[in-house]
Amino acid sequence: MSHSPERREFLGTLGLAGLLWLAGAAPGSAAQRAAGLRLGEPRPFSFEALTEQARRLAAAPYEPPYRPAPEIVQKIDYQTHGQIRFRAEDALFAEGPGVYPATFFHLGMFFPKKVTMHVVRDGAASEILYDPAYFDMPADSIARQLPQDAGFAGFRFQESRHRKDWKTQDWVAFLGASYFRAIGELGQYGLSARGIAIDTAVPGPEEFPDFKAFWIAPAPSEADPALVYALLDGPSLAGAYAFKLWRTEGVVMEIETRLFLRKAVQRLGIAPLTSMYWYSETDRDSAHDWRPEVHDSDGLAIWTGGGERLWRPLNNPPVPVTSSFVDKGPRGFGLLQRDRNFDHFLDGVHYELRPSVWVEPLDDWGDGAVQLVELNTDDEIHDNIGAFWVPAQASGPGVAYSFRYRLHWLADQPYPPKEIAQCVATRRGRGGEPGKPRPQGVEKFVVEFAGGPLEELDGDAKVTPVLDSSRGEISYVFVERIPGTRRWRVQFDLTAPGREPAELRGFLRLGKRPLTETWLYQYRPPAIARSANAG
């Protein structure tokens, strides 16, 4: 997981790096001038050639990426980096032919590795040669001491150059290891995606491969996608990536990845998402802040290969927790922000506007599992949530994978079910009946659902809750339509003595007809939290 300075100006404390000779320009080659940038000599380029380059790279020993002048880069801290701005007039495609100009990030202590950039036109690629003159910075900035070949850290696409504000507004950014993010339809950045996740939350260190080089092709019009190609490299694997990026009401990305392993990994995460969840109305006991809620995402949604819709509210557990949802041929999954009420956050950074991101497989992913990783955090500056697909296929040296999928950066999932309602709130408190002493060791749950067929039901409809727990006893169950609304809620008590978590599952039905998606929740008794905090 990443640990990133708030307010998402950075994407992680992990850097970018790398040099790649394929389709690049050799040092000292003749340079051309285009849209304010110096370019190397053009060389043939294709995604197939990039794939072969990744295959050959994986067959050779791993070489750590180049870090220019680390003693200087480490002094370019958050504040110093924020004072360094790429000159918009030098943006790639500032005057066409692409409709979305591309600007570039400077190196810094959080992004210390050089990333090679290329522009692709008519089947040929030219390296974009770094020049410190592309950046405005204070006269006394330590960054002025970097060598002339220091290079870029990442890039982003600005809004259409036909907009008057394009120089100050961007919609997608690639920065930090294999991290990238996009703006949602509500005008906000939030959670991030990654090219790959390797050994997240397993014994031993997590591995963060780098996008070592990018190739950027223009989008002829706002209806066309911008094209980006990337080379990934890390100790365990190398890979080639192709991105098609559409600026819609939010952002839609079509991604093809071809991966080649150098060695076995314990947990290979495909289409990984990384987010932040500190606390919400579900777990007010963990709140140590004045705001009612603080989170970029509040739940994991899954559409299984069998057609079931699942909703798992997020937790901030005292110890690392990995939940695995075994499936075959998943239809999609995502980390969503369903709470859109400003009064639930009261924060000027507008968590209620953070995007939801949905992963849509474009081919059969076979057997595997959607895995959710939840780490403890005591602040909003840490991304402590991860979700990804883990294929059942064993990994090892020489094993190759190929995946195609879309990422939808929207306000909600792109294919919401119309035939069932969604879970919109999970609340907890002390169990027992009103007016009577509250028993120890009994937890009360109130789960709310809205939309779908619930909109048409009268308050006296014979709605039945279906509830189950992996351990303990469920009691004091009743269901009702919430007065003054079209929402319904189910309330129940759980008695689960001991220290082990309890896995809860429930939905509402009318007769034999399901009315809602399936609500899942991992309840950790307070004794677990006390024990973990004591340790």
222-245 mean pLDDT: 98
For 487-510, write each residue's pLDDT tens digit. 999 999 999 999 899 999 999 999
**Within this chain, do residues 435 and 401 fall inside the same structural domain, yes or no?**
no
409-437 mean pLDDT: 93
- Write down the pLDDT at residue 20: 25
| Dist. CA 317–CA 450, nearest whole Å | 27
What band does 288 get if pLDDT is binned at 50, 70 and 90?
confident
**Residue finishing a domain among 410, 434, 461:** 410
Give the chain's largest Cα–Cα span: 84
Q: Is residue 26 part of a domain?
A: no
Using CA of residue 320, residue 335, residue 454, residue 329, what is the dihedral sign?
negative
Beta strands in 262-314 (DSSP E): 268-275, 277-279, 294-295, 299-303, 309-313
10-27 mean pLDDT: 28
CB 478 within 8 A of CB 491: yes
Give one DSSP letter per residue of 497-531, joined into a string.
-SSS-EEEEEEEEETTEE-BPEEEEEE--HHHHHH
75-89 mean pLDDT: 95
**Within this chain, do residues 475 and 342 fall inside the same structural domain, yes or no?**
no
| Dist. CA 356–CA 366, nearest whole Å | 25
Q: What is the dihedral of CA 318, 320, 326, 332, to 10 degrees?
A: 90
CATH number of residue 458's parent domain: 2.60.40.10
Instruction: Looking at mean pLDDT, say which of 17-26, 462-471, 524-533 comes out highest.
Output: 462-471
| Dist. CA 129–CA 150, nearest whole Å | 10
- Write down the pLDDT at residue 332: 98
148-170 mean pLDDT: 96
Q: Is residue 11 part of a domain?
A: no
Three-state DSSP state, 48: helix
In the structure encoding, which two tokens stand for residue 430, read together?
A: 């002390």
| Dist. CA 410–CA 374, nearest whole Å | 23
- Write down the pLDDT at residue 431: 93
- Write down the pLDDT at residue 4: 37
CB 88 within 8 A of CB 94: yes
Residue 485 structural domain? 422-534
- Write down the pLDDT at residue 435: 83
What band does 286 get if pLDDT is binned at 50, 70 and 90?
low
For 163-210, write each residue's pLDDT tens digit. 999 999 999 999 999 999 999 999 999 999 999 999 999 999 999 999
**Residue finishing a domain among 410, 437, 462:** 410
| Dist. CA 257–CA 110, nearest whole Å | 26
| Dist. CA 357–CA 349, nearest whole Å | 19
Q: Is residue 15 part of a domain?
A: no
533: pLDDT strictly greater than 60: no
Which positions ≥6 away from 413 have C-beta within 8 Å?
A: 301, 332, 334, 336, 356, 358
Task: Count the domains in the chain.
Answer: 2
Q: How far apart are the first and last CA of the chain?
A: 23
| Dist. CA 502–CA 525, nearest whole Å | 8
407: pLDDT strictly greater than 60: yes
- Write down the pLDDT at residue 434: 83
**Angle subtended at Cα 429 by Cα 423 and Cα 435, rounded to the nearest 5 degrees:** 120
| Dist. CA 386–CA 1, nearest whole Å | 7
In the structure encoding, which two tokens stand for residue 49, read together?
A: 């050639």
Strand pairing category for 332-336 and 356-361: antiparallel
**Within this chain, do residues 274 and 391 fall inside the same structural domain, yes or no?**
yes
- Bin 470: left if φ > 0, else alpha if -120 < ψ < 50, else beta: alpha
| Dist. CA 157–CA 52, nearest whole Å | 27
14: pLDDT strictly greater than 90: no
**Residue finishing a domain among 375, 410, 445:** 410
CB 528 within 8 A of CB 497: no
Q: Is residue 523 part of a domain?
A: yes
| Dist. CA 151–CA 127, nearest whole Å | 11
Strand pairing category for 197-198 and 385-391: unpaired
Q: pTM of the full predicted structure?
A: 0.91
**Within this chain, do residues 391 and 432 fall inside the same structural domain, yes or no?**
no
Task: Report which of 305, 303, 279 is spatially closest to residue 292, judged by C-alpha positions.
Answer: 279
Q: Is residue 22 part of a domain?
A: no
Residue 148: how many other CB atoms lie within 10 Å: 10
- Bin 484: left if φ > 0, else alpha if -120 < ψ < 50, else beta: left
**Within this chain, do residues 382 and 341 fall inside the same structural domain, yes or no?**
yes
CB 269 within 8 A of CB 388: yes
**Within this chain, do residues 402 and 441 fall inside the same structural domain, yes or no?**
no
CATH number of residue 83's parent domain: 2.70.98.10
| Dist. CA 357–CA 388, nearest whole Å | 12
| Dist. CA 59–CA 397, nearest whole Å | 9
81: pLDDT strictly greater than 80: yes
Q: Is residue 286 part of a domain?
A: yes
Give the single-character DSSP code of 73. Answer: H
| Dist. CA 478–CA 465, nearest whole Å | 8
| Dist. CA 323–CA 180, nearest whole Å | 24
| Dist. CA 210–CA 239, nearest whole Å | 10
- Write down the pLDDT at residue 1: 59
**Within this chain, do residues 119 and 233 fall inside the same structural domain, yes or no?**
yes
**Within this chain, do residues 320 and 452 fall inside the same structural domain, yes or no?**
no
**Within this chain, do residues 247 and 340 fall inside the same structural domain, yes or no?**
yes
**Within this chain, do residues 399 and 365 fall inside the same structural domain, yes or no?**
yes
Q: Is residue 21 part of a domain?
A: no
**Within this chain, do residues 82 and 140 fall inside the same structural domain, yes or no?**
yes
**Within this chain, do residues 386 and 449 fall inside the same structural domain, yes or no?**
no
Which amino acid is present at 453? P
| Dist. CA 247–CA 415, nearest whole Å | 18
